[in-house]
């Protein structure tokens, strides 16, 4: 037996609305912060730090790990501030 068309459309619209609102609230958690879907972060793995992207797996938010290692930069060494050299011998003349 077939359902009337308007009831089927209403059920489909309601399911789409509920699915959209659930996805909007799904975030991934790492390093004490929440990350939106599509955001990437560096996570520690057994193979070393790897880039991970927040995504969905079976209706749950989950980190999708890549094979790409994280790229880190070291801070540049601090140079000593330049000091003005004052010639005290000229002041006495």
27-50 as b/e: b if 16+ CB within 10 A:
ebebeeeebeeeeebbeeeeeeeb
pLDDT band at 14; cut points 50, 70, 90: very low
- Give the pLDDT of residue 42: 94
Q: What are the pLDDT digits (tens) for 52-82?
A: 999 998 989 999 999 988 987 777 777 776 6
Does residue 63 contact residue 28 with C-beta atoms inside 8 Å? yes
What mean pLDDT do residues 29-53 have?
A: 93
Model pTM above 0.75: no
For the chain, give every domain's residue range.
Answer: 26-70
């Amino acid at each position: 037996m077939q359902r009337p068309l308007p009831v089927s459309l209403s059920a489909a619209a309601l399911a789409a609305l509920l699915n959209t609102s659930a996805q909007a609230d799904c975030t991934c958690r790492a390093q004490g912060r929440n990350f939106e879907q599509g955001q990437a972060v560096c996570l520690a793995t057994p193979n070393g730090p790897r880039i991970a992207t927040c995504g969905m797996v079976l209706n749950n938010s989950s980190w999708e790990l890549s094979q790409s290692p994280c790229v880190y930069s070291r801070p540049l060494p601090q140079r000593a501030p330049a000091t003005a050299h004052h010639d005290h011998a000229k002041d006495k003349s």
